[in-house]
Amino acid sequence: MPAIDLNSDLGEGWAGISVADDDAMLQLVTSANLACGGHAGDADARWNAVHAAVDTGVVIGAHPSYVDREGFGRRAMDVPGPVLERQIREQLDALLDTCDGIPGAVVRYLKPHGALYSRILADADQADAVARVAAEFELPVLALAGVPGSAIQRACDRRFVDVIGEAFADRSYAADGTLVSRGLSGAVIDDADVVRARAVRLATEGIIDTIDGGTLRIDARSVCVHGDTRGAVALAQGVRAGLDDAGVDVRPFLLHS
């Protein structure tokens, strides 16, 4: 039976304003990438998200980013490696501190957010900063699958850090396996039928369509539906139902290889 993890970026509220319907999404996903304050996720949002994840039995991951609340962490930024390493460590510490006050809460992996997530595919210095923090805290890194020899893969290999391949049901792919920039038309997919079909084909065949009409073969152990995509709950419901109907075992990537 094929197996795949379903994850989402959650806990991204700030000053009482929610970005996603975390409670609804946590009923559907098996792993939650929780914001750590860099792009979003203040202390109250972290506390609520961690509590909800524990209550629903969802695996918790850290979701650090560039320190860029104004741009929601999606703006390209030139941050020196040592500074970036410190920023990521501080964000991870913030989430760990929250978890320390909630019984059963454990951070199990690290997934960079937004522009940083894309940057570490090619930028060796910034990838090294992420890998150093992951190694220090003994966490695997969730990163984009389908990009052989990426900088983050090389950096993690040097430090014996596991890299877990991830794919996206609600984002368009370029022919080289990278995600199409959000600034381009069609980069974000919010058609529930299309998102569902993409997730099912990925899980059962290891294939995902590209924006130019081609296909990519991707070995991914997790698939993401963004919490802030329009209609995210309906998209995740469709993905979960589609995977169940296709006989895919939807469970945390930490429980399958």
Q: How confident is the model at residue 54 (pLDDT cuts 50, 70, 90)?
A: very high
Cα-based distances in Å from 109 to 21, 96, 221, 253: 22, 12, 13, 10
Look up tokens 């600034």; give the residue.
183
Look up tokens 């893969």; give the residue.
153
Q: Is the pLDDT higher at 88 or at 18?
A: 88
User: Would you say residue 256 has pLDDT above 80?
Assistant: no
| Backbone phi, psi, residue 24, to 5° | -70, -40
Q: What is the pTM of this model?
A: 0.96
Contact 251, 5 (CB under 8 A): yes
pLDDT tens column, 82-115: 999 999 999 999 999 999 999 999 999 999 999 9
Distance of CA 6 to the CA centre of its chain: 10
DSSP state letters, 100-117: HTSTT--EEEE---HHHH
| Amino acid at the residue 207 | I
Q: What is the pLDDT of residue 257?
A: 44
Residue ranges of domains in the chain: 3-255
Q: What is the pLDDT of residue 30?
A: 98
Both tokens assigned to 213:
């009409």
Fold of the 3-255 domain = TIM Barrel (3.20.20)
CA–CA separation, 53 vs 104, rounded Å?
10
